[in-house]
Amino acid sequence: MAQLIADQREIDFILYELLRADELVKADQFSDFSKKSFDMIIAETRRLAQKEILPTLTDGDREGVKFDKGRVKVADSFHRARSLILEAELTALPEDPRWGGQGLPVLISMAVLDYMLAANYALSGYVHMGHGTGKMIELYGTDLLKELFLENLYTAKWGGTMLLTEAEAGSDVGALTTSAKKLPDGSWSITGNKIFITAGEHDMTENIIHPVLARIEGAPAGSAGISIFIVPKIWVNEDKSLGDSNDVVCVGTEEKMGLHGSATCSMALGSKDQCRGFLLGEENKGLKIMFHMMNEARLNVGFQGSSTASLAYLYALDYARQRVQGKNLVDLRNPDAPSVPIIQHPDVRRMLTWMKVHVDGMRSLVYYVSSLFDQKEMAATPEERETIDQMIGLLTPVVKAYCAQRGFEVCVQAVHVFGGYGYTSEYPVEQLVRDVKIASIYEGTDGIQAMDLLGRKLGMNEGRVFMGLLEEMGKTIVAAKKIDSLASLADKLEKSVNTFGETAMGLGTAAMSKTYAAAFAHAHPFLEITGDVTLGWMHLWRAMSATHCLETAKKEKDRGFYQGIITTATFYIETVLPVTHGRMMSVQGLSTAAVDMEDVGFG
């Protein structure tokens, strides 16, 4: 079977022909780079991912992690792959070089991550989770904390985690019971228990740095009284040397449906009353700080969905081209007709095309949001920077939940393409289904993301941010209408965007009225609608770019590639968006059945 992760030509198209990443080098922030250097970094990562990381995917699933007396051992092959990633300095590409980064644009960094995340997402947690921990310290930490932790976190010499969840609190972090008490030396004594901690303990690094949510003794109840602390597994002295064990103990690991290579740990802090931490930022401001890390994590989880979908699609495509079974439809009555590759069967082509439109659309969306971070960095005014930041905020729950859900559905479709073999462990797609399902659950379930979109993001800045999104879609539609071959698609998308706007306005109004419960019962369908219409925008934009490229393309292979993008957009707008219209009609109907159902009625 071909070792495929992502379509190189497709990534190049999004980077350079859709989003113009090569023009980033004109900005002062990125003037040390060139398109050639971007391509070299991506090519090296692709080689590493295909030859060294992807082969570990099955190892992680079959070997899992082994827990024994507080220690966690991961699959043997993970060690070599992780060391090669660190050696290639691929752990914190967009960060400041003085802290171990390379100062790359976020957009290029995401193209690099595309290969690594798809090749083995379980492994990536042991490599990249320290980045979010480091980013919080860089933004909110003292100079001492930066000196102690930042470089080792960004270079992944040390691991990082997120200690939020507790057994009784779940997603309601305001109900946590982990406590903190100030000590005479200025550090804090931490006591409590956390669950579902990814990479909370493992044998691939000498130290793991835990950001821990806790309540200082006497602080207000609920989320208003939560602070955040940096708690090392091994204490770090002021001279950066390692001290004693810090009473942070893994007490068990979870047996999971998938992602077996990732250690999901239960952690006990201060069971011997010897756990210490550093306060990060101000007291009682922990959630604000943690949400910065959470938003980064949510975008990466959405990326998990889209990148895993890419891997599943390419496996299915390769199989469909090789698997010979059944006659071509036109030869069904000819007993002498040869069997053909299943990619010639219309229903298989339908499945593959459905997968492709979502893979290409999700990748375009994720890369687009990544490019907004670079635009924010290059913004000329604080007002422009704030506008871009709000657009990122609006699209974050969409990327997280929509790409997680559609990514899972693409993987399920891949199993169908393989048929019975897809349901066996002989082929990799059944593992991908199990592995990617968690993306819809952790870092806030799809329902929580939907509530965030409806309750917070839709009305952000009095609705101006959402209107700005519609305006961007409108600009693409107006431009596409000027191209004869795309005018019909532009008209269809325009109707979808207009209905989308009406749906959002009606639902947003209902969410602030007496029918708010019914409105929030429709929040998740609305998030799906938002994702569907946004991907429609992506596809029309892609089709416009491909049409312009066709005008100068001379090679037959290039012409076929660009025509494929246009055909893909046609499929999406003509077959996927009509289903979305039905969903919009459902949301506009604002049925109250879900909230009217009496408990006894559920059975």
Distances (CA, A) of 196 to 158, 161, 401: 20, 11, 19
pLDDT at 546: 97
Other beta carbons within 10 angstroms of residue 573's beta carbon come to 24
Residue 400 is assigned to a structural domain of this protein = no
Q: Give residue-wise pLDDT tens across range 289-331.
A: 988 778 888 999 999 999 999 999 999 999 999 999 999 998 8
Residue 174 has pLDDT above 80, yes or no: no
- Over residues 460-475, the mean pLDDT reads 96
Residue 449 is assigned to a structural domain of this protein = yes
Domain hosting 95: range is 8-65+74-154
Tell how strand 159-160 and strand 208-216 pair up. parallel
8-state DSSP, 220:
P
Q: Give residue-wise pLDDT tens across range 517-567.
A: 999 999 999 999 999 999 999 999 999 999 999 999 999 999 999 999 999
CA Rg value for the chain: 25
Tokens representing residue 29 in the block = 């922030």
Distance CA 502, CA 516 (A): 17
- Dihedral of CA atoms 500, 501, 502, 505 in degrees, nearest 10, equals 120
Residue 589 is assigned to a structural domain of this protein = yes
Other beta carbons within 10 angstroms of residue 215's beta carbon come to 22
Distance CA 544, CA 564 (A): 12
pLDDT at 93: 94
Residue 158 has pLDDT above 60, yes or no: yes
Q: Do 588 and 503 contact (CB within 8 A), yes or no?
A: yes
Tally of domains within the chain = 2
pLDDT classification of 246: cutoffs 50, 70, 90: very high
pTM above 0.85, yes or no: yes
Residue 298 is assigned to a structural domain of this protein = no
pLDDT classification of 509: cutoffs 50, 70, 90: very high
* Domain termination residue (choose one: 154, 174, 208): 154
Residue 184 is assigned to a structural domain of this protein = no
Known catalytic residue at 63:
no
pLDDT classification of 1: cutoffs 50, 70, 90: very low
pLDDT at 171: 65
Tell how strand 179-182 and strand 66-68 pair up. unpaired
pLDDT over 90, % of the chain: 92
pLDDT at 165: 87
Q: Give residue-wise pLDDT tens across range 568-601.
A: 999 999 999 999 999 999 999 999 999 999 999 9
Residue 223 has pLDDT above 90, yes or no: no
- Over residues 148-176, the mean pLDDT reads 87
First-to-last C-alpha distance (Å) of the chain: 48
Nearest to 249 by CA among 271, 228, 277, 278: 271
* Domain termination residue (choose one: 154, 182, 198): 154
pLDDT classification of 3: cutoffs 50, 70, 90: low
Q: Average model confidence (pLDDT) for the chain?
A: 95
Residue 161 is assigned to a structural domain of this protein = no
DSSP state string for 322-346: H-EEEE-GGGTT-TTPPEEEGGGSH
- Over residues 369-383, the mean pLDDT reads 96
Q: Give residue-wise pLDDT tens across range 101-144.
A: 999 999 999 999 999 999 999 999 999 999 999 999 999 999 99
Q: Give residue-wise pLDDT tens across range 401-452.
A: 999 999 999 999 999 999 999 999 999 999 999 999 999 999 889 999 999 9
pLDDT at 170: 64
pLDDT classification of 168: cutoffs 50, 70, 90: confident
pLDDT classification of 222: cutoffs 50, 70, 90: confident
Which residue out of 430, 443, 494, 528 is catalytically annotated? Answer: 443
CATH of the domain at 107: 1.10.540.10
Distance CA 206, CA 240 (A): 13
* Domain termination residue (choose one: 106, 133, 154): 154
Tokens representing residue 167 in the block = 């057994």
Q: Give residue-wise pLDDT tens across range 386-414.
A: 999 999 999 999 999 999 999 999 999 99
Nearest to 20 by CA among 134, 101, 102, 108: 108
Q: Do 540 and 573 contact (CB within 8 A), yes or no?
A: yes
pLDDT classification of 175: cutoffs 50, 70, 90: confident
Residue 122 is assigned to a structural domain of this protein = yes
Residue 209 is assigned to a structural domain of this protein = no
